[in-house]
């Protein structure tokens, strides 16, 4: 059954523009997220320009691999800053869907783990959580962790409100609503295969969370397993399995309720695997001091987490594009005026399946 959304003939163009205006909740969350991002960017700028603030060993900052990682993480948070600001404007609703979804998918995976585990680990371990014995002073970790937690909560809240306003129709559509599409068979094969691999990867993470050390590098196996590491491994294992199972449910259109519920689990699970897996692989490949050297079976797990998360993300992208009823992920209720050429910037008078 096709649902048509048209703009009444008597509607004033300003009415549609008002619907694009960010609400107070989205603006507040985005502004607070922006403020939380600035301290991290400031530290990165100081490090990249040669100021060893918060670092006991200047040679650490001069390591080419560390310089590259600092530049990369600075760029990632700069993108988050730009997106947070875009969530406060009408123009942000006109950004290409992929330009919003791709970085927020990675950010959800990276920041979600920090938000969920660091506060709990600090309650259990206290200030010792910040004392790593490395060249970075504890106050830097405290600043970064607090910024990441506030940034994660507020940026993801702003994004959730933004997605609700822009993509309400496909997200609120019933999960059981089937959309065949040209990639349906491919999505089923990919989601089924991803579940099998994710069960193996997630089970390995849960084994390490329970205290197992098989497959870990000798240095990690010999060291006491910290509470924070155990919680992170456990959560990442659960998200790997849960995310893959949720993606398969979405692809097969099995279950009750709206699409956004299982899609959120699949989003977090795949984003976590890809984001943290890619970060770990980059540390090993670049030989950065934080990488910890050869990682054995752990390295294979991280590599397959990266690949599996990427495949799951691509599968979800195909699904969203086809369920949205257009050629790309765009607003389904109020597509931006382009085809009716009225020049009012309002919604086009055309239907969407």
- What is the rounded CA–CA span in Å between residue 248 and residue 190? 9
Provide the pLDDT for residue 80: 95
The stretch 18-23 carries a mean pLDDT of 68
Burial 204-224 (b: 16+ CB within 10 A, else e): bbbebbeeeeebbbeebeeee
Q: How confident is the model at residue 292 (pLDDT cuts 50, 70, 90)?
A: low
Q: Using the predicted structure, report yes or no on whether residue 14 has a pLDDT greater than 50.
A: no
DSSP 208: H
Q: How far is the CA of 208 from the CAs of 81, 119, 232, in angstroms? A: 35, 21, 10
Provide the pLDDT for residue 8: 36
DSSP string, 215-267: TS-HHHHHS---HHHHHHHHHHHHHHHHHHHHHHHHHTT-SSSBTHHHHHHHH
What are the φ/ψ torsions at residue 331 (nearest 5 degrees)?
A: -60, 125
Q: Which tens digit of pLDDT belongs to each residue from 100-127?
A: 999 999 999 999 999 999 999 999 988 8
Q: Of 43-47, 233-237, 332-336, where does mean pLDDT reach its minimum? A: 332-336
- What is the rounded CA–CA span in Å between residue 256 and residue 17? 34
Q: Which two tokens stand for residue 32?
A: 């607070």
Provide the pLDDT for residue 11: 37
Q: Which tens digit of pLDDT belongs to each residue from 24-33?
A: 999 999 999 9
Q: How confident is the model at residue 19 (pLDDT cuts 50, 70, 90)?
A: low
What are the φ/ψ torsions at residue 90 (nearest 5 degrees)?
A: -65, -35
CB under 8 Å to 294, separation ≥6 — which residues?
217, 284
Ramachandran region of residue 215, left (φ > 0), alpha (ψ -120 to 50) or beta?
Answer: left
Q: How confident is the model at residue 353 (pLDDT cuts 50, 70, 90)?
A: very low
Strand partners, 3: 352
More confident residue, 258 or 221: 258
The stretch 243-259 carries a mean pLDDT of 90
Provide the pLDDT for residue 293: 56
Q: Of 193-197, 208-212, 325-329, 347-351, where does mean pLDDT reach its minimum? A: 347-351
> How many residues can be counted in the chain?
353
Provide the pLDDT for residue 262: 95
Q: Which tens digit of pLDDT belongs to each residue from 172-200?
A: 888 887 666 777 888 999 999 999 999 99
SS3 content of the chain, % helix, strand, coil (to 5): 70, 0, 30
The stretch 289-300 carries a mean pLDDT of 72
Q: Using the predicted structure, report yes or no on whether residue 82 has a pLDDT greater than 70.
A: yes
Provide the pLDDT for residue 138: 93
Provide the pLDDT for residue 294: 55
Do the beta carbons of residue 350 and residue 335 sit within 8 Å? Answer: yes
Provide the pLDDT for residue 224: 76
Provide the pLDDT for residue 232: 95
- What is the rounded CA–CA span in Å between residue 127 and residue 281? 29
How buried is residue 151: exposed, middle or buried, by Cβ count under 10 Å (0-12/13-18/19+)?
Answer: buried
Provide the pLDDT for residue 178: 63
Question: What is this structure's pTM?
Answer: 0.83
More confident residue, 291 or 219: 219
- What is the rounded CA–CA span in Å between residue 78 and residue 42? 11
Q: Which two tokens stand for residue 300?
A: 């294979």
As a whole number, the mean pLDDT across the chain is: 84
């Amino acid at each position: 059954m096709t649902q048509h959304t048209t703009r009444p003939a008597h509607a004033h163009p300003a009415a549609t523009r008002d619907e694009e205006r960010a609400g107070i909740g989205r603006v507040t969350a985005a502004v607070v997220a922006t403020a939380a991002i600035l301290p991290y960017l400031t530290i990165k700028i100081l490090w990249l320009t040669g100021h060893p603030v918060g670092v006991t060993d200047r040679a650490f900052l001069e390591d080419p691999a560390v310089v590259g990682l600092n530049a990369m993480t600075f760029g990632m948070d700069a993108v988050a800053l730009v997106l947070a600001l875009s969530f406060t404007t009408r123009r942000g609703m006109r950004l290409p869907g992929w330009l919003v979804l791709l970085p927020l998918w990675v950010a959800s995976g990276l920041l979600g783990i920090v938000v969920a585990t660091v506060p709990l680990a600090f309650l259990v371990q206290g200030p010792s959580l910040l004392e790593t014995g490395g060249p970075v002073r504890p106050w830097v970790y405290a600043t970064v962790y607090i910024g990441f937690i506030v940034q994660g909560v507020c940026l993801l809240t702003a994004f959730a409100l933004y997605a609700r306003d822009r993509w309400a129709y496909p997200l609120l559509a019933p999960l059981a609503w089937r959309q065949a599409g040209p990639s349906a068979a491919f999505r089923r094969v990919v989601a089924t295969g991803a579940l099998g691999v994710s069960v193996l990867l997630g089970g390995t993470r849960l084994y390490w969370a329970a205290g197992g050390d098989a497959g870990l590098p000798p240095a990690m196996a010999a060291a006491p397993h910290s509470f924070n590491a155990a919680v992170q491994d456990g959560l990442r294992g659960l998200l790997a399995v849960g995310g893959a199972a949720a993606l398969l449910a979405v692809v097969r259109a099995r279950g009750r309720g709206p699409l956004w519920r299982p899609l959120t689990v699949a989003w977090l699970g795949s984003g976590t695997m890809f984001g943290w897996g890619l970060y770990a692989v980059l540390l090993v490949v670049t030989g950065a001091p934080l990488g910890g050297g050869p990682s054995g079976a752990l390295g294979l797990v991280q590599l397959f987490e990266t690949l599996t998360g990427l495949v799951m993300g691509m599968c979800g992208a195909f699904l969203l594009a086809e369920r949205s009823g257009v050629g790309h992920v765009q607003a389904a209720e109020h597509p931006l005026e382009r085809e009716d050429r009225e020049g009012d910037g309002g919604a086009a008078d055309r239907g969407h399946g």
